[in-house]
Amino acid sequence: MKASRLAVTGAVAATAVVVLSSPAFAHVSVQAEGTAAKGGYAVVDFKVPNERDNASTTKLEVAFPTDHPLASVMPEPMPGWKIEVTKSKLAKPLKLHGEQITEAVSKVTWTATGKDGGIRPGYFEKFPLSVGALPEDADELVFKAIQTYSNKEVVRWIEVQEDGAEEPEAPAPVLALSAASEDGHHGSTAAEQADAKTENAAATTEAAPADSSDTTARVLGVVGIVVGALGVAYGVLAGRRRSDA
């Protein structure tokens, strides 16, 4: 009887461990690389984990919010994936850099190429996008995502989190937006960050000759002082010799 009870207890405990360690919270999510400030541009990554042990993720579809359309959406090339950007007409045109925009990106689709392509079991992958201009009248953006597996299973990450409610089973990815800085800076794109690094490198290179010249001048000054001191010492010794003679 004791052995049976121990066996049952062990089985229950093992089941609890499996349940608690299951990837229930490993859902599709989105996060900015750096800052996603209101009114600015940002590079965001959609993180997609594979939650199945016997199938690969072969397709990801991300729908963009229609209440806050984004006029500029540029995907980064990804080896092993075909990328399709879908645009739709806007009910109300947008103004971007002084120009009127009548359509915006409504969906981006990544499809794995090759027979064994995609995200294999036990792995995840990030799908980057450069997006903007981000809305100034919203604190977050909700993207609805659809994940397709090689066994034809489809998981819809489209449930919106309600205030005060528990997290839904299949929550939609949410991008939190930060306030623009007081000087009006709205964040920077990866290209702007690269330009800044280049400018800093150039400034360092330009400053190097000046630093080198300053160091050389200091060395020559020290050498001059030493030579002068030796000359004075030699003069003193020569004078003593003459007095002794």
Residue 42 to residue 36: CA distance in whole angstroms = 5
Between CA 37 and CA 41 the distance in angstroms is: 7
The pLDDT of residue 166 is: 86
What is the token pair recorded at 156?
A: 């819809």
- DSSP lists the bridge partners of residue 81 as 112
Predicted confidence at residue 100, as pLDDT, reads 81
- Please give the pLDDT value at position 141: 96
Judge if pTM exceeds 0.75.
no
Sign of CA dihedral 149, 152, 157, 158: positive
Closest CA to 155 of 20, 60, 25, 38: 60
Residue 243 phi, psi dihedral angles, 5° rounding: -65, -40
Quick check: 130 and 188 in contact, CB under 8 A? no
Residue with tokens 């020559």: 220
Bridge partner list, 7: none
- Digit-by-digit pLDDT tens for the chain (245 residues) are 444 454 444 444 444 443 333 444 579 999 999 999 999 999 999 999 999 999 999 999 999 998 899 989 999 999 999 999 999 998 888 776 677 888 889 999 999 998 889 999 999 999 999 999 999 999 999 999 999 999 999 999 999 988 777 888 999 999 999 998 655 545 444 444 444 344 444 443 444 444 444 444 454 554 455 445 555 455 544 555 555 55
What local confidence, expressed as pLDDT, does residue 87 receive? 93
The confidence score (pLDDT) of residue 149 equals 97
Q: Token digits for 169?
A: 């089973």
Rounded Cα–Cα distance for residues 59 and 227 (Å): 78
Contacts (Cβ under 8 Å, ≥6 apart) of 169? 24, 159
